[in-house]
Structure 1
Amino acid sequence: MRVLVQGAGVAGLTAAFELATRGAAVTVAEARHALGGNASWFAGGMLAPWCERESAEQPVLDLGRDAADWWDAATPGQVTRAGTMVVAAPRDNGELERFASRTSGHRRVDEDEIALLEPDLAGRFRRGLLFPDEAHLDPRQAMAALHDRLADKGVEFHFGADASAVSGFDRQIDCTGMAAGDDRLRGVRGEMLILNTPDVSLSRPVRLLHPRFPLYVVPRTDHRFMVGATMIESQSTGPVTARSMMELLSAACALHPAFGEAEIVETGVGVRPAFSDNLPRVEARGNTVTINGLYRHGFLLAPAMARQAAELVFNQDKSMELANETDRQRQSA
């Protein structure tokens, strides 16, 4: 089967992997001239289904709990399995209790254990939650690794290409996000920073709870940290606003004051497509299957959506083969 995947974000790359693994001849067409620059490029990369359940529906946990295993198998060496730490200042202990009541898969940690797990946070927080089964990855490195793995499987990539410029496919999978033109989608703007400081070391993502502006900090390589993220109901792709910059930096400094002296290496904005219920959908229309609405859970939910899309593509093909065989039998009779 020949399948065209439109879009080389996280949805498109994971769909291409599932299809190629099942034996399809896959071509990926991406409007951008290189990998990256889309919403996936500015993601946190947290594979944290139990934490996300605090503000998401149960399907996010159900669909995302195997994501770390999927990424580990598809991109060996890219996943760090160190869990997630959630902390709050003593004055915001109510936020920690609320978070604990809405989630599962965690255990409580005291000041001594926080210091043991994250020495640079020693003495800064008295209580926290550890989600030991969660993981994280660097989205850019993971996407590059998945691209290379796909190329090794014979997947063809066409960058800077409109999907209409390539033809001759049995099926298509549309993974173009907001560009799909689905009027049911809304854009949710997420702003992020990448900071560099040799004065802070973290082993895992840390979420700092605050009643007005919760924050997460995800460690990258070379003393870099991804700090995010806002959730603004907007499709604007303009630069990070001054207000968001100040709030992100203020929250980062509340986690550790050394972030006040960090270099701001990069700022970024990603507009994430979302349906009204904030849950993703895999849908079939004729010979086209769409994956969309990943919202803020791209790397967490893309593997499950890719599996659903591949099953739909192949099951649809089997249904058509059965119908054609039935027609041939009727004609011969």
Structure 2
Amino acid sequence: MRVLVKGAGVAGLTAAFEFATRGVSVTVTETRQTLGGNASWFAGGMLAPWCERESAEQPVLDLGRNAADWWDAVLPGQVTRAGTLVVAMPRDAGELDRFASRTSGHRRVDEDEIAILEPDLAGRFRRGLLFPDEAHLDPRQAMAALHDRLAAMGVKFRFGADARHGSGFNRQIDCTGMGAVDDRLRGVRGEMLILRTADISMSRPVRLLHPRFPLYAVPRTDHSFMIGATMIESQSAGPVTARSMMELLGAAYALHPAFGEAKIVETGVGVRPAFPDNLPRVEARGTTVAINGLYRHGFLLAPAMARQAADLVFSQDRTKELAHETDRQRRSA
């Protein structure tokens, strides 16, 4: 079997891995000239199915609970398993209770334990929630490492290629996100910042709850933090707006005043594809199987969706084999 995977975002890369490990000859095409620049490139990289359940449906938790194990097995050393800390200012304590009521897999922590978990946040928050089984990774490092592993496995990459008329393949796996022709999809714009400051250290993603603008801060290497993210119903991939910049920086300052002196290393925008119910889909259309609608859960859900796509293709082929064998037996009877 020869499979063409269209799109080198996290959905395409995980799909390529799933098929390659099953002995399939895989080619990945990407219209961009290099790896990155897509919505996956601007992701937070939080493998946080229990936290996401606060605003997502149960399938997100069910599909994502094994994501950290998948990434850890495929890319050893890329995953940090330190959990997620959720906090709120004293005036927003009700938001913390609401978050707790809509999630599971957490335990409450007090001011003293917050100081132990994140010393630089000592004295800033009285209560919080710790989700100990959650994890995170750096999306850019993970994508580069997965690309290199796939190349070592014999997967071919064609960057700057138009795969609309790919031929010579038994199957095409469409992982083009907002580039797919699907009237059901809508774009959800997410804006982020990368700040750098040596005055703050964090061991895990920290989510600051706010009734108007919740924020997450994810530690990266070199004293950097990914600060995100907005959710705007828009397909515009233009620069970060002044309003979003102020809200992101204001929320970061509320988390810790030292962010006020941080350097703004980068701003970015990713447009995430979403179906009306915000749940992903794996769908077959002839010889094409589409993986789409990962919304804000790309790194969390991509492994499970890639497995579903591969299972679907192999089950289709097995059904065809059985049908051909039955037909052959009838003709020879």
The one-letter amino acid of 2:134's match is E
Q: What letter corresponds to residue 327 of structure 2 in structure 1?
A: D
What is the deviation of 1:247?
0.1
Alignment of 1:58-69 (within 5 A): 58-69=58-69
Establish whether residue 244 from structure 1 lines up as the match of residue 228 from structure 2. no
Partner of 2:134: 134
TM-score relative to the length of structure 2: 0.99
For residues 74 and 12 of structure 1, the distance between their equivalents in structure 2, rounded to whole angstroms, comes to 15
TM superposition score normalised by structure 1: 0.99
**Alpha-carbon distance in structure 2 between the residues aligned to 1:165 and 1:58:** 37
> Structure 1: which 5+ runs fail to align?
none
Q: Mind listing any 5+ residue stretches in structure 2 that lack a counterpart?
A: none
Query: Within the alignment, does 1:27 sit opposite 2:21 as a pair?
Result: no
2:176 maps to which residue? 176
* Cα distance between partner residues in 2 of 1:136 and 1:245: 24
CA distance in 1, matches of 2:216, 2:14: 25
- After superposition, the C-alpha distances for 1:125-150 in whole angstroms (9 at most, x for unaligned) are 01000000000000000000111111
Amino acid across the alignment from 1:193? L
Q: Which runs of 4+ in 1 moved over 4 A?
A: none
| Map of 1:81 onto structure 2 | 81
Distance in 2 separating the partners of 1:164 and 1:270 = 23
Distance in 2 (CA, whole Å) between partners of 1:12 and 1:131 is 29
Q: Deviations over 1:60-113 (max 9, x none)?
A: 000000000000011111000000000000000000000000000000110010
In structure 2, what is the equivalent of residue 315 of structure 1? Answer: 315
- Provide the residue aligned with 2:71 in structure 1: 71
Verify: 1:197 aligned to 2:197, yes or no.
yes
1:217 and 2:221 matched = no
SS across alignment from 1:200: coil
Amino acid in structure 1 at the alignment position of 2:256: H
- The superposition leaves residues 19-41 of structure 1 with CA deviations (integer Å, 9 ceiling, x where unpaired) of 11111111101111110000000
What is the correspondence of 1:70-149 to structure 2 with a 5 Å cutoff?
A: 70-149=70-149
Compute the displacement of 1:325 (Å). 1.7
The count of corresponding residues between Structure 1 and Structure 2 is 333
Q: Deviations over 1:208-236 (max 9, x none)?
A: 00000000000000000000000000000
User: In the alignment, residue 99 of structure 1 is paired with which amino acid?
Assistant: F
Percentage of identical aligned residues:
86
Shift of 1:165: 5.5
**1:206 aligned residue:** 206
2:292 corresponds in structure 1 to 292
Alignment deviations for residues 295-329 of structure 1 (CA, whole Å, 9 cap, x no partner): 00000000000000000011111111111222222
Residue of structure 1 in register with 2:277 after alignment = 277
Aligned ranges for residues 151-162 of structure 1 at < 5 Å?
A: 151-162=151-162
Once residues 183 and 50 of structure 2 are traced to their aligned partners in structure 1, the CA distance between those partners, rounded to angstroms, is 31
Equivalent residue letter for 2:270: G
Partner SS state of residue 56, structure 2: coil
Q: In structure 1, the residue corresponding to 2:36 is in which secondary structure?
A: coil
**Take 1:101 and 1:325, find their aligned partners in 2: how far apart are those partners?**
54
Residue number in structure 2 paired with 1:264: 264
Q: Which residue type is aligned with residue 231 of structure 2?
A: M
